[in-house]
A and B are shown apart, each in its own frame.
Chain A
């Protein structure tokens, strides 16, 4: 696999988008680690009541990180939309996708049509995945195409439950889509090194293998990990533990490769997508994914480079 360095983004890492999205990724990771992981794991500590004080303080810090991320998302999404709007036709489509997403999120917040909101958010995410893939060569684009399909399959669970939808309430169809989403989501994670232009150096490969081994061991030994994976990333955790280990190793390798090759904006974009997860959890998590995809899309690829 060719491992040519891809030039850093033109204009993206400069100006406001770079610091804004870097801050967003830092806040989102803090929130993910404290609120969505620590507080949900700590409830399993025996006699937690004795530690209620520290637990509540840490929970509040996690909630604060969540609200900081929300504020940064509210700032970053319009900025990313404006950045994309200044580009060519394909990037302008990404700008439209962000606008549609914001509309869908507003409908959800205002208790409007759940069907319309879900369709808008899923469609916008799939379109942005297409925009992210569009500037890349076929091999590098493949993970984003698969991610778009995973998003639709995962969200079909909600869409097919809405009154008036064709095939509504078909339990087999609901489970079929959820199974397809599981396979596609894992395939995306495993394929991300293709987007990064190949695996990183030997030492970083070892780091990725350690991350994969930890995920494998966690899936095998601590069922709480499966629950966290379901709540945080939308995976049911129903496949063998080794598959999740390989997927974790794949996405870690891709993140490391992007970082050391100077493709920081794309690294942050992939990180945001991973923090947001797959399918429809909350408009917050969908917004993380949309911001991540928009950031990847906003990086102008160099012709002939993966």
Chain B
């Protein structure tokens, strides 16, 4: 008798549970299928507003005064191996857009202006920004990307911008034999297309990568750049059209969002290759509107946010301390 009453109820409860589990799995599958993610990133956001005038690659152009800066923390390179670096703690990043071109300005404090790599023991100051490639299906690994999500890197170097230095400028009293021919073939690195032997190609290389060991120069070099050193600070501007040459390169558009990361090399600290200061990914948001100005925001929002934070966390502290006292008394 008992089993005849119990069994249907048990079966019903089990069916309900199975139905609930199935509903959860179907809902999750639907979200995955349509790539409808209800969650949102909360990392730092760098917003590129429309520039009031075209600043070109001039880091000191007045248009940058209206851009909204963010301080991006950097750490030493801690990728697959510990390469060191970390002497630059933060960069100040700004972004603007004009005529379907994206401009990124990166500024950081560096006591020394390292522009020469003529001596083997010298290394140049440099900065790079990294974006997911257009073909990336997910956020790539920050360390040179991954198989299904490549990265596009724009790399500016102070020595490439400075150009070649005569050896006599570096080694006083040195004598250099004259080459009998100025033909490019006698300059093997230049003839082979080594960008560091071709400073006329510009100070910025655009690179693509899909994991360690695959970093290579992009077939089309279309990123412009310019760096200015003054008062112990480097300020470098990168500029590129929204549309990249191919799917390996980043693509931008008004209203688009993507991820970007920063890396800085401090030449006087021996930074080169993997030895550098790097950031996490921050979010780059390209807004259609004009820049609100460095301090521009809705004051009511600021008051509301500060009030909310102080009010809620204050209540939390009061509950934690008061509640614990009550618990002690009830002991």
Contacts and interface: CB of A to CB of B under 8 A. Distances in A.
Interface of A: 23, 39-40, 43-44, 46, 48-49, 52, 55-56, 59-60, 63-64, 67-68, 70-72, 74-75, 90, 93, 97, 100, 105, 108-109, 113-124, 126-131, 133-138, 141, 144-145, 148, 152, 157-165, 168-171, 174-175, 178, 223-224, 226-227, 230-231, 236-238, 280-284, 286-287, 301, 303-304
Contact of B148 (A56, A115, A223): A56
B40 interface: yes
B301 A115 contact: yes
B317 A148 contact: yes
A286 B323 contact: no
Contacts of B28: 64, 67-68, 70-71
Given A100-B312, A148-B316, 20 more contacts: A68-B28, A72-B24, A115-B305, A118-B42, A123-B309, A123-B312, A124-B312, A127-B312, A130-B320, A133-B320, A159-B305, A163-B296, A169-B71, A171-B90, A223-B82, A224-B79, A224-B80, A237-B75, A283-B40, A301-B327
Interface of B: 24-25, 27-29, 31-32, 37-45, 68-71, 73, 75, 78-82, 89-90, 92, 138, 141-143, 145-148, 211-213, 280, 292, 294-299, 301-302, 304-306, 308-313, 315-325, 327-328, 330-331
A135 B44 contact: no
A93 B31 contact: no
Contacts of B280: 230-231
Contact of B327 (A23, A100, A230, A303): A303
B25 A163 contact: no
Given A43-B147, A127-B313, A164-B302, A108 B42 contact: yes
A152 B313 contact: yes
Contact of B80 (A63, A122, A152, A223): A223
A234 to B, nearest CB: 10
A64 B32 CA distance: 7
21 contacts: A44-B80, A46-B213, A56-B148, A67-B29, A75-B24, A90-B319, A114-B45, A118-B305, A122-B313, A133-B323, A145-B317, A152-B313, A160-B71, A161-B71, A169-B69, A169-B70, A174-B71, A227-B78, A280-B42, A281-B43, A303-B331
A117 to B, nearest CB: 8
- Among A39, A52, A108, A115, residue most surrounded by chain B Cβ atoms (within 10 Å): A115
A-B residue pairs, 6 tightest by C-beta: A134-B323, A130-B316, A123-B312, A284-B39, A164-B297, A119-B305
A304 B331 CA distance: 4
B211 A48 contact: yes
A286 B25 CA distance: 22
B92 A171 contact: yes
- Among A60, A152, A162, A231, residue most surrounded by chain B Cβ atoms (within 10 Å): A162
B16 to A, nearest CB: 11
Contacts of B301: 113, 115-116, 164
B323 A141 contact: yes
A238 B139 CA distance: 24
B307 to A, nearest CB: 8
Given A116-B301, A127-B315, A301-B327, A283 B295 contact: no
Contacts of B31: 67, 70-71
Given A40-B141, A171-B71, A68 B24 contact: yes
- Among B89, B212, B297, B312, residue most surrounded by chain A Cβ atoms (within 10 Å): B312
Nearest to B148: A56
Given A281-B43, A304-B330, A174 B313 contact: no
Nearest to B33: A67
